[in-house]
Structure 1
Amino acid sequence: MNAFQPKGNKARSRRGSVTTIGLCLAIALLEGLDLQSAGVAAPRIAKEFALSVAQMGWAFSAGAIGLLPGAALGGRLADRFGRKRVLMLSVALFGAFSLATTLVWSFESLLVARLLTGLGLGAAMPNLIALCSEAASPAQRSTAVGAMYCGMPFGAALAAAIGIISPGDEGWRHIFYVGGFGPLLMVPLLALWLPESAQFVEAKSQSTTNTEPPAGFVEALCSHGRARTTLALWISYLGTLIVLYFLMNWLPSMVLSNGLTRMQAGVAMMMFNIGGGIGAVGIANVMDRFSPRLTVLGMYVGIAAALAGLAGAGGSMSMAWGAFFCGLFLVGGQSVLYALAGQSYPTEVRGTGVGAAVAVGRLGSILGPLVAGQLFALGQSASMLVVASIPLIVVAALAALTVVGSFSPRLGAGAAVPGGRRA
């Protein structure tokens, strides 16, 4: 019987990993739907409340502002109380305030609802990354995080589909109904089926026998030689997310400004997110199988080329394909960055490290839509803004290559991570 025990343990571990990644994928899908919902609903929200382009930029950024403290706090709490508990609370929070968005009555109430929704959304992501990183074997961590993260663009594509089929000017609320009830229904499923990270449980039990106090916030990010990796992660997140969220929020308006229809704008948005879903899994899988450095270099070259193609697009077909390749490389690239963050920190501070990186990256999700909205209001063209974002991609690429150079993503069991700790 003992001869068969290791196989039984391995099978149970694999089932637990699949369950964890599957549930995290479902949450990521709902998070992607909610993040995209404001962009999809924007034209009809602006019409109902008579909002200017600049005001809609603030409405987009309100949710992003909530993401920043949510990510930092969610990651820190995950290292203290567990990934599962904090994730459940985060999901309940963004579900409740997504529903509250359907009840807004003014510009100010819209800002508050989106801000609090963003707080829950921000707290969820570090926990999703930590859970998937710790559920997978070291050689498959990028693929596991990518498989989870592909839910984000597919959820955003679902939001675009709901926007297309929702009738009339009042139809924008349907997106937020789905984005609210869906997460609330997932909370009991997480309570029943989501296992807590075994690595977290082990690290927590070891810390109880250790007389040293837990690492502080700065120590978690910078001690044991992690300062350079942390800074490079932050720069790569910031540059990539500025461009990603600019397109996520303003792509429909860009299509409309080229004289195309609302239906064609919805198709372009769906193509962007379908490409993102393919890229999230595909590029992460390439990362695990081949050279991490060449993978990162290739994905950023792809981002720059896709942005240049989108800037030169004019017709509906060229806009749709430009959006597809932007999604493929931008969203796929972001999934790789999330995987890199999960591998850059040891278990006991992984939530803190990932949460801090996500929080800094969220500055990009604030700045991208806000700056773009102000420039659009001043009469700048969409093509000019897309081209102007390419230098940011170059800076982000150099930072990401620095992170890859600091460690080997294909860690074996028990291999050292930056800082001399064990994965």
Structure 2
Amino acid sequence: MKASSSARKHSVITVAICFLIAVIEGLDIQAAGIAAAGIREHFALDSSQLGVFFSAGILGLLPGALVGGRFADRIGRKTVLVWSVAIFAIFTLCTVWVNSFYSLLLVRFLAGAGLGAAMPLLITLASEAVTPAKRGQAVGLMYCGMPVGAAILSYIASLDFGSNWKNIFYLGGLLPIIVLPIMIKFLPESREFLKAQTRVETAEVEQNVSFQDLFNRHNLMRTGLIWFSYFFTLMVVYIMLSWLPSLFMELGFSRKEGSTAQFYFMLSATVGTVILGMLTDRWKKAYVIVLMYGGILAGLFALNAAASLTQMYLASALVGAFVIGCQGVLYAFGSIVYPTELRGTGVGMASAVGRIGAMLGPTIAGQLLAAGFGATGVVSAAIPCIVISAVLMLILVQRLQKVTV
């Protein structure tokens, strides 16, 4: 009984603290889109340069995810996570003090590196804090912090405080500084990681886990499938996260209406992430894949077909529920695909590949808008990416079922 109570307490504390950090990630992801108008005016940027600004922070996520997951498998999840959040906090605050476009890109890149290292560790910690049967639910509950943070910032953007773009980044930098002492004092190290380390020490052998293990005969196909699915899905996710308010303005709506659409997008995303995470543990995985990618496609078609502001709000909510929830499910799949000793590296690498898509998405959207394709063209370009991701994930699920049978 005492052991069960201790395990439950461990799980709750881990998922709760990871949720707080995911809230901070949501604030940061939303910060770029909300602050875009002020930054564009302050630095005199065109649409193409604004797309590069969006992508700079996302580009930083790539090396962060590569390095963070790798070190977490070697020295521990908690230590690397604390340093990652600290780096993110410092360079987010630096965003308000830069005075040129290139220094702006540099600090966004470095802040993104800190955040990029943190995300695979949040997934790993949340999934390892519970039994395998509850991993989808744990990752969903943790990751719903991201849309919660983004929704909070969308609301703040409608207030006087949010009218100054620098206030957005002050908030984004100070919050993780407040959370850091909580992490250091209360966040427990992953028990699965500690057990794996104990097994290594008991056997008196070195743990020789490397990137090459992702491409051995057991992992090669599943690694390729999950990488490409992450790539195309996150490309669409970050197009929506970065450009949705601006796409509304392209269609003739006001900045406030664009921010309201983003709020509905994130509010529904919170619900969708939790529900899809729970379904991942309870339904057949193929059914969850069909539901979430089908929902994204329905939302994208609805955005293109909407003829009124109310319909646009509903379409934004539909896309948000499934596109962000889909990202949470993919992260849960990453924790299922790889064993404990390879999980940090595997999820980190998959996240890094996904971040390449996330980086390219906003830049491509900016180029499409600059070329005159308009908001409809941007949304239409996202549809093939979702179809490809759905097919790849269905193949992965089929292969995983063959292994377990």
TM-score (norm 1): 0.93
Q: Distance in 1 between matches of 2:313 and 2:347?
A: 33
Answer whether contact 2:13 2:186 (CA < 8 A) is retained: yes
Q: Does 1:399 align with 2:392?
A: yes
Q: 1:168 to 1:352 in 2, by over 3 A?
A: closer
Match of 1:21 among 11, 15, 34: 15
Percent identity over the alignment is 44
Q: 1:208 — aligned with what?
A: 201
- Which SS does the other structure have where 2:158 is aligned? helix
Q: Does 1:238 align with 2:246?
A: no
Aligned 1:299-318 pairs, distance under 5 A: 299-318=292-311
Q: Does 1:158 align with 2:152?
A: yes
What is the one-letter code of the residue matched to 1:80? Answer: R
How far residue 259 of structure 1 moved from its aligned partner, in angstroms, is 1.3
Q: Deviations over 1:279-300 (max 9, x none)?
A: 1111111111111111111111
What is the one-letter code of the residue matched to 1:364? Answer: G
What is the one-letter code of the residue matched to 1:276? Answer: A
Q: Which moved more, 1:277-286 or 1:153-162?
A: 153-162
Q: 2:212 — aligned with what?
A: 219
Q: Does 1:369 align with 2:369?
A: no
Q: 1:44 to 1:100 in 2, by over 3 A?
A: same
Q: 2:180 — aligned with what?
A: 187
Match of 2:75 among 81, 106, 111: 81
Q: 1:97 to 1:168 in 2, by over 3 A?
A: closer
How far residue 211 of structure 1 moved from its aligned partner, in angstroms, is 5.2
Aligned 1:71-220 pairs, distance under 5 A: 71-166=65-160, 171-210=164-203, 212-220=205-213
How far residue 417 of structure 1 moved from its aligned partner, in angstroms, is 7.5
Q: 2:254 — aligned with what?
A: 261
TM-score (norm 2): 0.97
- Which SS does the other structure have where 1:358 is aligned? helix
Q: 1:274 to 1:353 in 2, by over 3 A?
A: same
Q: Does 1:359 align with 2:360?
A: no
How far residue 315 of structure 1 moved from its aligned partner, in angstroms, is 2.5
How far residue 210 of structure 1 moved from its aligned partner, in angstroms, is 3.6
Q: Distance in 1 between matches of 2:85 and 2:211?
A: 27
Q: 1:168 to 1:195 in 2, by over 3 A?
A: closer
- Which SS does the other structure have where 1:51 is aligned? coil
Q: Does 1:389 align with 2:385?
A: no
Q: Deviations over 1:75-116 (max 9, x none)?
A: 001000100000000111111111111112111111011000
Q: Distance in 2 between matches of 1:122 and 1:152?
A: 14
Q: 1:397 to 1:215 in 2, by over 3 A?
A: farther
How far residue 167 of structure 1 moved from its aligned partner, in angstroms, is 5.2
Q: Distance in 1 between matches of 2:34 and 2:303?
A: 19
Aligned 1:412-423 pairs, distance under 5 A: none
- Which SS does the other structure have where 1:195 is aligned? coil
Q: 2:336 — aligned with what?
A: 343
Equivalences, count: 405
Q: Distance in 1 between matches of 2:379 and 2:144?
A: 24
Match of 2:54 among 47, 60, 65: 60
Answer whether contact 2:209 2:342 (CA < 8 A) is retained: no
Q: 1:386 to 1:168 in 2, by over 3 A?
A: closer
How far residue 147 of structure 1 moved from its aligned partner, in angstroms, is 0.4
Q: Does 1:271 align with 2:264?
A: yes
Structure 1: runs of 5+ lacking an equivalent: 1-6, 410-415, 419-423
The structure in which a higher percent of residues are helix is 2
What is the one-letter code of the residue matched to 2:129? Answer: A
Q: 1:30 — aligned with what?
A: 24
Q: Does 1:250 align with 2:239?
A: no
Answer whether contact 1:134 1:198 (CA < 8 A) is retained: yes
- Which SS does the other structure have where 1:225 is aligned? coil
How far residue 217 of structure 1 moved from its aligned partner, in angstroms, is 2.9
Q: Distance in 1 between matches of 2:97 and 2:310?
A: 37
Q: Distance in 2 between matches of 1:351 and 1:344?
A: 11
Q: Distance in 2 between matches of 1:164 and 1:104?
A: 25
What is the one-letter code of the residue matched to 1:63? Answer: G
Q: Deviations over 1:319-349 (max 9, x none)?
A: 1111111110100111000000011111111
How far residue 408 of structure 1 moved from its aligned partner, in angstroms, is 5.3
Q: 2:64 — aligned with what?
A: 70
RMSD across aligned C-alpha pairs, in angstroms? 1.6
Answer whether contact 2:161 2:167 (CA < 8 A) is retained: no
Q: 2:44 — aligned with what?
A: 50
Q: Which moved more, 1:223-232 or 1:24-33?
A: 223-232
Q: Distance in 2 between matches of 1:196 and 1:168?
A: 36
Answer whether contact 1:166 1:174 (CA < 8 A) is retained: no
Q: Distance in 2 between matches of 1:405 and 1:214?
A: 31
Q: 1:412 — aligned with what?
A: none
Answer whether contact 1:229 1:402 (CA < 8 A) is retained: no
